[in-house]
Chain A
Amino acid sequence: MGKRVGKTVNNFLLARANGGISMVIVGVKILPKKEVLDVQGRAIAETLKRRKHLIEECQYGKFIKLKINTANKEEALNKAREMAESVLCNSLVESYELEILS
């Protein structure tokens, strides 16, 4: 236990010495796949059209922001990809895109 706390404190001090807490923020954009019926997107599109907005299509999805404890962007993306594939996204009906936010 003490060892773990010590490690956390060390990481914190190291991060501070490097000029800030090392963290990468990754955005995960999730949208239903084209071949899947997107009932929410369709309902939103109908309402927008009723309000005379000219749109061709509307897709409804999710946006998840992850703060990942690492200074390495590549590592952060790899971790986010693992999270997206195991939990955040159901590959049967959804596709996802990752982006570095900061």
Chain B
Amino acid sequence: MKLFALKTKPVAVLCFPGTQCDEDVVKAFKNLNYPVKKIWYADHFSSEGFSSFVLPGGFSYGDYLRAGALAAHSPAMQDICEAAKKGKPVLGICNGFQILCETGLLEGTLQINNTLRFVDQWVKLQLCHPCPSWGGEQIQKDICLPIAHKEGRFYADKECIKKLEDQGQIWWKYTENPNGSLENIAGIMNEEKNVAGLMPHPERAVEEWMGGIAGRAFFSG
């Protein structure tokens, strides 16, 4: 019954000015026969009608002030924060991850890469703890996904990193660190594990012609 409900309620894909990966995320869900609806950031919406929420990649507000900082204070984000606190699944990809950190739903922050360069490449990732809301146990332990970001160096203070490690909140780690992230962290979850964020783009690896299908499992959980 619960699964049935999950299948029928659409997934909300949030769009900000400057979001660019929304269409890819929508297609990834549609290919797996999940209903999807795009939500515009400027309006409040009723989160009750949605099964889960995805914040896609891009450059919301042109990364003004700090990446994700202005988007984090938008009306639709307030509704998503409330839904997240009620236990609804929320996924942030790339800029979405930055937004989740800025809202405080996820700990830490994403700083400019230590190379000062935009990195655009495929990376090997290692699963540390599966996220029950996004892929769960279906996800393979070692996968390759593309990254494309300039502000992806995960930073948190020592105590916070230790807490993330101890509570099993680290989702993915890079096998080779591309940006200077502390502890090679590529993705994390909140304590309840319903909110997750990662810098790599699973929606860019859902068809063979893209170079791999490792990303599919993220959208089929």
Q: Give the residue of B70, B112, B153, B156 whose beta carbon is less than 8 angstroms from that of A92.
A: B156
Q: Give the residue of A35, A40, A88, A90 whose beta carbon is less than 8 angstroms from that of B112.
A: A40
Min CB–CB distance B93 → chain A (angstroms)? 20
- A50-62 to B contact mask, C-beta < 8 Å, 1/0: 0000000000001
Residue of B nearest to A64 (CB): B65
A-B interface contact total, Cβ < 8 Å: 35
Query: Whole-angstrom distance between the alpha carbons of A2 and B95 in the complex?
Result: 42
Contact check, A90 vs B109: say whether CB atoms are below 8 A apart: yes
Interface residue ranges of B90-112 to A (CB < 8 Å): 102, 108-109, 111-112
Query: Whole-angstrom distance between the alpha carbons of A39 and B70 in the complex?
Result: 22
Contact check, B66 vs A39: say whether CB atoms are below 8 A apart: no
Min CB–CB distance B117 → chain A (angstroms)? 10
- Give every chain B residue within 8 A of A39 (Cβ-Cβ): 111-114, 116
Contact check, B65 vs A88: say whether CB atoms are below 8 A apart: yes
Contact check, A36 vs B155: say whether CB atoms are below 8 A apart: yes
- B107-130 to A contact mask, C-beta < 8 Å, 1/0: 011011110100000000000000
Does A37 make an interface contact (CB < 8 A)? Answer: yes
Does B180 make an interface contact (CB < 8 A)? Answer: yes
Does A43 make an interface contact (CB < 8 A)? Answer: yes
- Give every chain A residue within 8 A of B113 (Cβ-Cβ): 39
Residue of B nearest to A42 (CB): B116
Min CB–CB distance A69 → chain B (angstroms)? 21
Does B163 make an interface contact (CB < 8 A)? Answer: no
Decide: A87 near B73, CB < 8 A? Known: A37-B114, A43-B116, A92-B156: yes
- Give every chain A residue within 8 A of B112 (Cβ-Cβ): 39-40
Query: Whole-angstrom distance between the alpha carbons of A34 and B137 in the complex?
Result: 40
- A70-100 to B contact mask, C-beta < 8 Å, 1/0: 0000000000000000111010110000000
Residue of B nearest to A88 (CB): B65
- Give every chain A residue within 8 A of B114 (Cβ-Cβ): 37, 39
Query: Whole-angstrom distance between the alpha carbons of A37 and B116 in the complex?
Result: 12
- Give every chain B residue within 8 A of A62 (Cβ-Cβ): 65
Query: Whole-angstrom distance between the alpha carbons of A37 and B114 in the complex?
Result: 8
- B151-163 to A contact mask, C-beta < 8 Å, 1/0: 0010111000000
Contact check, A92 vs B180: say whether CB atoms are below 8 A apart: no
Contact check, A87 vs B69: say whether CB atoms are below 8 A apart: yes
Contact check, A90 vs B102: say whether CB atoms are below 8 A apart: yes
- 30 A-B pairs (CB sep. < 8 Å): A35-B157, A36-B111, A36-B155, A37-B111, A37-B114, A37-B153, A37-B155, A37-B180, A39-B111, A39-B112, A39-B113, A39-B114, A39-B116, A40-B112, A40-B116, A43-B116, A87-B65, A87-B69, A87-B70, A87-B73, A88-B65, A90-B69, A92-B108, A92-B109, A92-B155, A92-B156, A92-B157, A93-B109, A93-B111, A93-B155
Q: Which 6 A-B pairs have the closest CB atoms?
A: A92-B109, A39-B112, A39-B116, A93-B109, A43-B116, A39-B114
Q: Hey, which bits of chain B sit against chain A, CB under 8 A?
A: 65-66, 69-70, 73, 102, 108-109, 111-114, 116, 153, 155-157, 180
